[in-house]
Structure 1
Amino acid sequence: MNQEKKFSDEFINAFVDDQLTLEEKQQVYAQLSSDETLKWRICELRKTRDLVALAYKEPPMPTRGLAPSLGKRKYSLGVAAGLALMVGTVSGWFLHQTPAPTTLSSARLAAGDETAKVLIHVSDGHVDHLKNALDEVESLMQYYRDSKQTARVEVVTNGQGLSLLLANVTPFAERVQSMQKKYPGLSFVACQNTIERFQQETGVAVKLLPGVIVIDSGVAQIMRRQHQGWAYIQV
């Protein structure tokens, strides 16, 4: 079967729109490690979605969440701009003077690399969304374990997604720590920019769950990993 048509356009659209079941998404995740065409198709479709989102002057405001101060319009616009930069959708667009990566090099895995490398981006702080994100991460990790494939998976949180890793906020502390112990190749990452912004706006010191890695910028980390050949998935 032609690799390009292994998944129909409708199926890929449903994947990007988060309309598939966990089992169906698992099929896509498994194929991403070795299918350059599939990675290109998904990246191009995400690019289109981001451009559409950027067309709105006022992005939809979250009506609920664990960290409401992170939902201010100015921050939502910053996240939208970061996403556009991350996938290289706007030529000449810069954020903190960081150049946008090219689409193909961002999605390409290193040739001959037998270790699956996946970055999963979480920026939504709604409880049901966070639960779904953890379900998908665990499903992916279990798949790699069952197939005896070595994998490195990073869950990068920024924006409201930081709620997942806040020790005094998240309802998923035990689950996150359990997953860290169960899957050695899994790491949870928090954005320093988001942490600083949260502390400035609320005056509350941020306390993260044990074992969480702090990086300078969620967007910058995504760009770095894409340049290093990691697959990128937003949940």
Structure 2
Amino acid sequence: MQDKNPEDVSDELLNSFVDHQLTSEERQEILSRLKRDRVLSDRVCELQHLKEMTRLAFDDIPPSRLPKRVIEEPRSLPRMVAAAAIFCLGLLLGMVGLPQWGNGEDRNGQTASARNDSLTKVLVHLSSADEAAALNTLGNLEQMLAEYRSKGEPVLVEVIANGGGVKLLGPDTPAIAERIAHLSASYDNLSFAACRNTIEQLQLTEGARIQLLPEVKLIDSGVVEVIRRQRDGWAYIRG
């Protein structure tokens, strides 16, 4: 059975999938989702085709004006179309045997019918190291939490950071650290999480040592958690 809403997987995640920027575990999560959702599979195929056709546009630019990487990796139209076709065929044929999602239970063993439908669940995804944008997101988040509190309406919010976003959840960005400390002390229905995969990758590629704030918990994969939350009906906000 297909998911009712194939749009709940963000374009950012699909772009990362198509560009092979995910870990094996993260790709497994998305492939499993694609196996169950034909509409979502079509979105991925269209995205792959669009990327290939965009690369094709470089063929009309004189070589002297092309970036070196593009000059060294020329692609003909037949080759590009074939690549897109093979990619989409792989989605249809290569996903057989992947595990299905569970029997309707979430990670805590709670069935969908047992969840409180009146509870609004919001996922905020931070994937950029843009401090100004993150501060703006946290400001909007505080306004939303205050509004729900004033109306007596239940809401649960989780902020998940991966990519460049994990760099904002440490003491090196004091303005954000202060805002997170304030929000965490004011709202017990708000949590922050950082991706372990990203942190380990930054340590390997940049030699960076990421120190997280005490209010931030560590999760194995930010992308996997985002997909799970969206699957469970959480509203998605890209920070």
TM over 0.5: yes
Task: Check if 1:132 corresponds to 2:141.
Answer: no
Distance change >3 Å, CA 120–CA 98, structure 1 → 2: farther
Tell me, yes or no, if the aligned pair for 1:164 and 1:170 is still in contact at 8 Å. no
Match of 2:195 among 186, 191, 197: 191
Shift of 1:232: 1.9
- The equivalent of 2:233 in structure 1 is 229
Q: Counterpart amino acid of 2:120? A: A
Q: Secondary structure at the match of 1:125?
A: coil
Report the alpha carbon displacement of residue 137 of structure 1 after superposing the two structures with TM. 1.4
Q: Which has the larger radius of gyration?
A: 2
> What's the TM-score once normalised by structure 2's chain length?
0.56
Which residue is 1:157 aligned to? 161
The answer as to 2:177 corresponding to 1:168 is: no
Q: Tell me if structure 2 keeps the 8 A contact 1:192–1:217.
A: yes
Q: Report what 2:54 is aligned to.
A: none
Map 1:35-74 onto structure 2 (within 5 A). Answer: 40=5, 43=8, 47=11
Measured in 2, the distance between the counterparts of 1:174 and 1:133 equals 14
**Native 8 Å contact 2:160 2:192 kept in 1:** yes
Alpha-carbon distance between aligned partners in 2 of 1:190 and 1:50, rounded to the nearest angstrom: 16
TM value normalised by structure 1: 0.57
Q: Where does structure 2 lack aligned partners over 5 or more consecutive residues?
A: 35-39, 45-90, 102-111
Deviation at 1:98, TM superposition (A): 8.0
Partner of 1:218: 222
| Cα 1:115–1:98 shift into 2, 3 Å | farther
User: What is the CA–CA distance in structure 2 between the aligned matches of 1:100 and 1:139, rounded to whole Å?
Assistant: 38
> Which residue pairs with 2:213 in the alignment?
209
In 2, Cα distance between the equivalents of 1:50 and 1:127?
Answer: 21
Match of 2:75 in 1: none
> Pairwise mapping of residues 112-131 of structure 1 onto structure 2 (< 5 A)?
112-131=116-135
